[in-house]
Amino acid sequence: MSRLVAGAVAAALSLSLAGCSDDPDPADSDRIVLSPPSEGADHTHAPGQEHAAVAPVGDGTTATAGGYRMTDVAVPAAGKPGDVSFRILDKSGALVKDYVEEQTKLLHLYVVRSDLSGFRHLHPALGDDGTWRARADLGEAGPWRVVAEFTPEGTAQPIVLGKTVEVPGDWEPVTVPRGEQAIAGDDGVVQARLLGEGTVSDNGRLRLAITNLDGEPLTLGSYLGAAAHLTGFALESRGFIHVHPYGAPEITDDGTVLTFHTTFTKAGDYRLFVQVRVDGLLHQLAVTATVDAP
């Protein structure tokens, strides 16, 4: 099999696993312009990211946080497409049905295996009965954590809740890659590479270069109203983080460089999942970042 054909197959596979791949490519008016941010633009967020600079309540490791609770969590069987479903209750036990849109969605749903070897970013629909549902194929058995990130209407901070569900079947844990070899990841077509390390700060920066396999810059389409979507998990606690790109990508000798605003609260290693759109196709890549104490 040629490298080109293998790359195409890998890209198709990455799309089937990444989730959100059925999102239509936005109209040209919604695309990110590939040029350096104008003066001061590096301190702005894309439309719909007004809550991006506000630290969330909860880190997705518990089903309750900030007076809100995730309940009735269900996932499909291993290797069989089905619904991931759950409900969100407020402190009075009432269903939460009103949400503030963030990055074009009312709620972002992440399903991640405990060893961080599997990751799905989904956009569920809210039913009339107050249940969120999203179609997914988890592929393999094992403990999978369902993480919901949302901002209830009338609140100032996003809420992040999580519940682990055991998917029956045989499985073997996979060791998370670390060190120099883990600062870059590819899907056979697109590559992501970290430029430097992160720092514990509520106003930090993390830079990431997007290229083809030959290290050449790529033109990025917009995804969820931004140049990229990046989420991650602390290797020590498995706590969830969500960072946002600043301004527009920059074309440099390193590739198409994205700068992200970060709010790391603890030093350590973090497994990051980045999603970008290239030539209309969604690509999901994983890297491991080291975050140092200030």
Euclidean distance between CA atoms 32 and 254, whole angstroms: 19
Q: What is the pLDDT of residue 102?
A: 87
Are 155 and 185 in the same domain? no
Q: What is the pLDDT of residue 53?
A: 55
Q: How confident is the model at residue 191 (pLDDT cuts 50, 70, 90)?
A: very high
Model confidence pLDDT, tens digit, residues 203-229 = 889 999 999 999 999 999 999 889 999
CB-count burial class (<10 Å; 0-12, 13-18, 19+) for 39: exposed
User: Does the pLDDT at position 52 exceed 80?
Assistant: no
- What Å distances lie between residue 247 and 38, 148, 192, 216, CA to CA? 8, 26, 18, 21
Q: What is the pLDDT of residue 37?
A: 30
Instruction: Look at residue 56 and tell me if it is in a domain.
Output: no
Q: What is the pLDDT of residue 247?
A: 81
Euclidean distance between CA atoms 205 and 245, whole angstroms: 9
Last residue of one domain, picked from the residues 167, 199, 214 = 167
Are 266 and 183 in the same domain? yes
> Domain with 109 in it: what CATH number?
2.60.40
Model confidence pLDDT, tens digit, residues 130-153 = 999 999 999 999 999 999 999 999
Domain containing 273 equals 3-51+176-292
Instruction: Look at residue 220 and tell me if it is in a domain.
Output: yes
Name the strand (E) or helix (H) holding 6: helix 3-18
* Full-model pTM: 0.81
Reduce the DSSP state of residue 202 to 3 states and report it: coil
Residue linked to tokens 């592929």: 139
How many domains does the chain contain in total?
2
User: Does the pLDDT at position 40 exceed 50?
Assistant: no
User: Does the pLDDT at position 264 exceed 90?
Assistant: no
> Would you give the DSSP letter of residue 48?
T
